[in-house]
Amino acid sequence: MAQASWTQRVSKYLALAVLTLLVFMPLSLVILRALTPEGTFEGFGAFSILGEGMYQEILLNSLLLGFGVVIVSSLIAAPLAFFMARTELGRHRWIDIVLIIPFMTPPYIGAMGWILSMQSNGYAEQLFPFLAPVTPYFFTYFGMVLVMSFHLFPFIYLIMRNNLENIGGRLEEAGLIHGGSFLYRLRRIVLPLFISGYSMGALLVFVKTIGEFGTPVTLGNRIGFYVLTSEIHRHASVWPIDFGTAAILSTMLLSVSMAVWYFQQWFAARTHGKVVSGKGQTRAYTPLGRKQIFAWVYLAVILGLAVGVPYFSVASTAFMDNQGSGLALDNLTLRHIQDLFTGSGLDALWNSVWLAGIAATISAAIGLWVTIIIMKKRGTVEKGMDFLSIAPNTVPGIVVVVGLILFWNAYWNPAPVYNTWMMLVTTYVVLYIPFTVQNIKAIYGQLGDSLFQAAKTSGAGPFYILRTVLVPLILPGVLAGWIMSFTISMRELVGSLILRPPNMHTSATFIYSQFEQGTVAQGMAMALVTVGLTTIVLIGVEKMKEKSQRYRT
């Protein structure tokens, strides 16, 4: 192939510079600051504060929470995965879509919904008075685990289901034909294959849990269950602000998640990562017959808890005239929605829309640019760029936010970004570049080299190929990345809360502040509108995609 032209080289190093500025600088400043919390280098001595009882407890809380959520979400997901992979329920593909809803619901909104249900004289007690003795237990470690498990179980469910589907069919048939009894097959074929996939999902859920911010900051702070993320938030945004300690805790969190993440990568690489390809695979099938009623009941209970409870609470609160009067038809009102669109809520919502729109556009553009570079060649620079573009997804959001403060608020940084709306756009871009990159990469990876070689031998130059072949083919990936960035940016809490300029609210910070010290009903009305709006965008773009992708089916 012809040597890369100078424009390609310039583009490559420019992209590297952008990623360095956006991702590398903030993250390395976190670690640097952790080693020099008071401005002088203390090395690992700085970590001695972790010896203090308070911090030990925080770390322990984080780990306990992680383990608890992994266990509970696995318990919730396992039967569902079995039902969907091996029984009649698997024919109903819509269940998969419904099961994703909890995962797509912003965790802080889910947590708020649960709090509203379980608090004394909440909806749970109003509807089922006999629950009164149970509800206080919600405001403990168990409640935290419950809420977060109901948020994260879809993740582990998907991994388990795919795993079970892949193991099924031929592999088990082969075991059967070679004379393995049921238990022998389970022990020697299904379990070993299942465990390698499951462990991957479990580790990812663990990392997500300890890096999660929404639930700890709403429910955890309320009940005095402090974890790393909520403590980092406290040190970074509540007076007396102490970036040194925030950085140390962030580094702590970062090392735990990175360690787990790399362990998972290592584990996945050394075990049979790929089970046989999907070609000609038959699915193992265990018909339940009339017993499937139990499976449906189980599904209904899980959906009721994971989707029903939070959304019922949020909606009831949003449409309730007088919170004291409880659930009653004559207590119904649209007042809060109207207030939202006439008061400061509208500003917050509009801010979220345009901030998310700009951020999604920038991150889709950067994602496209970076992906084209890293998919073309696999040199050292490209690998570095690949790593940097994915890094914000493996690092807990709050760590990225602390890094962004340290970098953009540094006295030596001349860019007038901090404390302006640009800071929020930058935050969203950094946080969600991995989504655009991954989406585009997934589609790009499916394109054979010969598609481009065919264009070359047809006489097309590099730019013509880019315009007529590459871009049209990966456009769906770009679009998917854009929607994902947009919808998640719309509801982003941690970065918005800490980095918003004074007097500027986004929908997420509006919900949070109304819930904490304002009109809860206003907050919940906003939650409904935000979730509704992002859902409409999702559906709309999906429809558009179908139309423009006639050639795909």
Partner 1 sequence: MDIKFRQLEKWFGTLHALKPLSMTIQSGEFVSLVGPSGCGKTTLLRMIAGLEDPAEGAVLFDGKPVFDKDKKINVPPQKRKIGMVFQDFALWPHMTVFENVAYGLKATGRKREVQDKVTEALNNVQLGDHKNRYPHQLSGGQQQRVAIARAVATDPEIILMDEPLSALDASLRDEMRILLQSLVKKLDMTAVYVTHDQSEAMAMSDRIVVMNAGEVQQTGTPEEVYQRPNNDITASFIGKGTLIDGLVIEVEDVPMLKVSADVQIPLSSSKTKGLEPHDWVHAIIRPEQVVLDTSPSETGINGIIETVSFLGERYEVSLKLDDCDERLFAYTYEKTVPGQEASVTIRDTIHLIQHRGGVSHEETA
* Residues of this chain that bind partner 1 (CB under 8 A): 1-2, 448, 450-451, 453-461, 464, 468-469, 472-473, 550-553
Between 272 and 378, name the residue whose CB sits nearer to partner 1: 378
Q: In sequence order, what DSSP letters do the residues of 404-450 get, joined into one string?
A: HHHHHT-TT---TTTTSHHHHHHHHHHHHHHHHHHHHHHHHHHS-HH
Task: Please tell me whether residue 76 adopts helix, strand or coil conformation.
Answer: helix
Cβ at position 386, least distance to partner 1 in Å: 23
Burial of 305 (0-12, 13-18, 19+ CB in 10 A): middle
Taking the C-alpha atoms of residue 54 and residue 51, their distance in angstroms, rounded to an integer, is 8
Cβ at position 234, least distance to partner 1 in Å: 51
User: How many other C-beta atoms are found inside a 10 Å radius of the C-beta of residue 524?
Assistant: 27
Cβ at position 481, least distance to partner 1 in Å: 18
Between 1 and 238, name the residue whose CB sits nearer to partner 1: 1
Taking the C-alpha atoms of residue 122 and residue 116, their distance in angstroms, rounded to an integer, is 6
Cβ at position 1, least distance to partner 1 in Å: 6
Between 93 and 550, name the residue whose CB sits nearer to partner 1: 550
Taking the C-alpha atoms of residue 506 and residue 510, their distance in angstroms, rounded to an integer, is 6
Between 290 and 550, name the residue whose CB sits nearer to partner 1: 550
- 248 forms bridges with which residues in the sheet? none
Between 282 and 548, name the residue whose CB sits nearer to partner 1: 548
Between 140 and 468, name the residue whose CB sits nearer to partner 1: 468
Cβ at position 247, least distance to partner 1 in Å: 45
Residue 480 CB partners (closer than 8 Å, separation 6+): 439, 545
Cβ at position 459, least distance to partner 1 in Å: 4
Q: Give how far the C-alpha of residue 329 lies from the chain's centroid of Cα atoms, to the nearest Å.
A: 37
Between 359 and 469, name the residue whose CB sits nearer to partner 1: 469
Between 91 and 552, name the residue whose CB sits nearer to partner 1: 552
Of 341, 282, 349, 297, nearest to 505 by C-alpha is 349
Cβ at position 10, least distance to partner 1 in Å: 19
Of 61, 107, 108, 64, nearest to 224 by C-alpha is 61
Between 80 and 455, name the residue whose CB sits nearer to partner 1: 455
Taking the C-alpha atoms of residue 433 and residue 22, their distance in angstroms, rounded to an integer, is 10
Cβ at position 379, least distance to partner 1 in Å: 15
Angle formed by the axes of helices 344-376 and 335-342, nearest 10° = 70
Cβ at position 363, least distance to partner 1 in Å: 24
Judge contact between 495 and 285, C-beta under 8 A: no
Angle formed by the axes of helices 243-270 and 191-211, nearest 10° = 170
